[in-house]
Amino acid sequence: MHTHRKILYWLAFSDGLALLALVFVAVPVKYVLDLPIGVRLLGPLHGALFLSLAATTLSALGRGILRPGLAALLLGGALLPLGAFFADHQLRQAYPELRH
């Protein structure tokens, strides 16, 4: 149970970082400097992390490891550039064993 939550925590955190890098670094570099390589690399990485986060969240929800409200917050937060970090914070508050 704890392992599933830790994986969920790290997926949410990684997805948040990838989305921030994509939105605030790769996309501006693509349009300002005409260098699309960042978007080509970070786009699929973020997509894979998001799909992994969604699958892990739904799995945890189905197993009763995660509350429905927190699962919705994780999935919704993953769609906003800073939302993943808020959801990640809420996850750590709900499950103290995840705190560093």
Q: What is the DSSP string of 35-72?
A: -THHHHHHHHHHHHHHHHHHHHHHHHHHTTSS-HHHHH
Is the pLDDT at 1 greater than 60, yes or no? Answer: no
Query: Residue 28 and residue 64: Cα distance in Å, rounded?
Result: 41
Taking 80 as the threshold, does the pLDDT of residue 97 lie above it?
no
Which pLDDT score is estimated for 84? Answer: 84
Higher-scoring residue by pLDDT: 91, 14: 14
pLDDT in tens, 18-37: 999 999 999 999 999 999 99
The residue extents of the domains of the chain are: 2-98
Instruction: Give the CA angle between residues 46, 36, 48 to the nearest 5°.
Output: 15
Tens of pLDDT, residues 43-94: 999 999 999 999 999 999 999 988 999 999 999 988 888 888 888 888 888 8
Position 5 pLDDT exceeds 70: yes
What is the value of pTM for the model shown?
Answer: 0.87
